[in-house]
Amino acid sequence: MFHHPKIRNALLFFLVMAITIFFIIGRESSHRQRDTIVEQAPIEAPDTYTPNELGVCTGRRWPADVPPLYVITPTYRRAEQIPELTRLAQTLLLVDSLVWIVVDDADEPTPAVVNYLQERRICHVYLIARMPAKFQKLKNPPRGVANRRKALEWLRKHAKKGGAFYFADDDNTYDTRLLDEIRHTKKVSMFPVGLVTQLGLSSPIVRNGKIVGFYDGWIANRKFPVDMAGFAVSVDFLNARPEADMPFLVGQEETKFLESLNFTLDDVELLSSNATTIRVWHTKTKKNNKAILGAKKLNYKDSNINFLQEQIWR
């Protein structure tokens, strides 16, 4: 019977089909098993970064030989707040061993910011620090100082030994290569910042590998005329100087903070290829005015428009 050509061909056909189906099922099962293993893999995150101040660490890599990097971002409530935090978060997600310290100028946690941070797979700490009332009504108040002071306070309490911190405003643009360099700062590091002041650049002036001055659109009487985005500091170096702090002095925040660290130019480490490459830029988002819904022309009741407007103009 099996010698009959039609029967033999039919049997071979069914045999090939059975082997093929078995192979496909086995491969899909293997994929499902591998996916399940990945999803169930334990999340490694240092407990020291969750200090009951709305601090959360999730699913990021913490190589043992990579010093931690603490990125301090002051922020405040405005229509552009979430978009700018989103842009910065997309960069920080590419960096390992990173703790993002977001400090909101608010009297109480901002739900939109808290929700956004909790949805990110990024190790973060959310703090609030309101600008003191005596400064709030000034035409040119010392913005971001209360935020940064609060972050420094957190660092002194919770940061592990090693690593460095960096003041990264939420409206700037950062190259991940700079962030990976910063984490190895031993004392204080400095580097160029692009698209800042009328000169379009803030940078140490370097000759023969040494800082001989500063190029900045506003030198004034500052000992360290640098931009806030143009330097980083070692956590251990900060902790060895418990009196170091940032004053509420407009235009003097950077230099007075650096002066309080008590170091010389010989201590400064030059990053970004010996300060010859720009890897951080001031990029300002256009400020938006509250939209007029045009309710007289169209009825938005029971539609998605009011809900979307609330997300922007919250």
Rounded to whole angstroms, the Cα distance separating 312 from 210 reads 47
- The CA dihedral of 111, 132, 168, 88, to the nearest 10 degrees, is 20
Sheet holding 124-128, edge to edge: 55-56, 124-128, 98-105, 69-76, 164-167, 231-234, 188-190, 268-270
* DSSP character at residue 228: G
**Any known ligand binding at 171?**
yes
Catalytic one of 39, 53, 254, 259: 254
Taking each helix axis from N to C end, the angle separating 111-119 and 81-92, rounded to the nearest 10 degrees, works out to 20
Active site residue 254: yes
Assign 37 to helix, strand or coil.
Answer: helix
Return binding residues. 171
Residues labelled catalytic:
254
